[in-house]
Structure 1
């Protein structure tokens, strides 16, 4: 999905950094009580958090994002298929990053090259922790857009909120991953006379991969 980060998370009131776990609690997990490696541990916290967000397609602390589309999907007046308890209609915009707190604006370029902001009452937003779907209200279709890449922008706020609202399982995973990164400084580990490549090393690049559609 062509997501663009607009506003990154602010410094969290509980952790004191823009991360879901505090330096102090990670150091406690690592059993480190000296400040010598604080800068390194902070960098590893950021790395582990990025890995968690990439693996789960979730935003942990609140941040503002843009979903950039070339056009609206559809059009369709069919709505939801009868008898289907949950669906992704062809004319629905899908935000595959969660949890979405709010859709702030949907803007598009019309055929006159003007940027138009859609009135919120003209579309419906439904969100779960996993996916957010947006469609026009019943009986309407998306408006025609300029046939140009990046003609549609959906701005939204995603994230659990502050660090106290991030699931404990995710925060514990971050601490475990920091532990591995801190105690295994190379890309291989030696155990029982064997040298094994650490499986997560190449995954450190996943947040920076360019997905070709």
Structure 2
């Protein structure tokens, strides 16, 4: 079982303020703070919509067993920084980089033992910590274009425009709601 990821190195925004302003045909600097906020909101919205990290960032994930590595909960994965666990004697340990192999196939990612190797035995009840670099490098043009469209729409419709049964307020918060 995987637990929620912790971002240890925040992403840089994949769209510059200049790109966003050009998309909106804005030539002045009066709304620069607004564009910074819209860029961050667009990235957050698209990451939650696609359920994948967009910009390069370092994350820390914890799981209960090495068998969880058969399918990582986040992708795309660029690289693995470390795999740490608690050994059966209670000491902190890491898996040597040569003892595992990453299989990072786009939105499907897994980590397997290297040929002739096997996963170590962790202490019962402890968690395994995977530190990895995730996100697109480079970002697909279609995602970048979708973000620019979202920014332009949000800039033009700065007020919460009501669509039958749906508003900008609803769209921004739908991915943050917790079921009853």
TM-score by length of 2: 0.84
C-alpha change, 1:103 and 1:176, in structure 2 (3 Å) is: same
> 1:71, 1:147 within 8 Å by CA — same for their partners in 2?
no
Aligned equivalent of 1:142? 119
How far apart are residue 138 of structure 1 and its match? 4.7
Aligned equivalent of 2:28? 34
How far apart are residue 127 of structure 1 and its match? 0.8
Do structure 1's residue 168 and structure 2's residue 145 form an aligned pair? no
Do structure 1's residue 205 and structure 2's residue 178 form an aligned pair? no
Name structure 1 gaps, 5 residues minimum.
Answer: 10-17, 74-90, 190-194
Describe the SS at the equivalent of 2:101. strand
**Distance between the aligned counterparts of 1:103 and 1:145, measured in 2?**
19
**Distance between the aligned counterparts of 1:208 and 1:65, measured in 2?**
20
Aligned equivalent of 1:192? none
How many residues align structurally?
A: 178
Aligned equivalent of 1:182? 155
- Higher helix content, 1 or 2: 2
Name structure 2 gaps, 5 residues minimum.
Answer: none
> 2:69, 2:110 within 8 Å by CA — same for their partners in 1?
yes
**Distance between the aligned counterparts of 1:6 and 1:98, measured in 2?**
16
- Of residues 89, 98, 113, the one that matches 2:90 is 113
Aligned equivalent of 1:4? 6
Find the structure with the greater CA-based Rg: 1
How far apart are residue 4 of structure 1 and its match? 1.3
Superposition pairs of residues 31-180 of structure 1, within 5 angstroms: 31-73=25-67, 92-138=69-115, 140-148=117-125, 151-161=127-137, 165-180=138-153
**Distance between the aligned counterparts of 1:140 and 1:23, measured in 2?**
48
How far apart are residue 40 of structure 1 and its match? 1.0
How far apart are residue 206 of structure 1 and its match? 5.4
TM-score by length of 1: 0.72
Task: Select between 35-44 and 95-104 the one with higher mean Cα deviation.
Answer: 95-104
**Distance between the aligned counterparts of 1:125 and 1:21, measured in 2?**
29
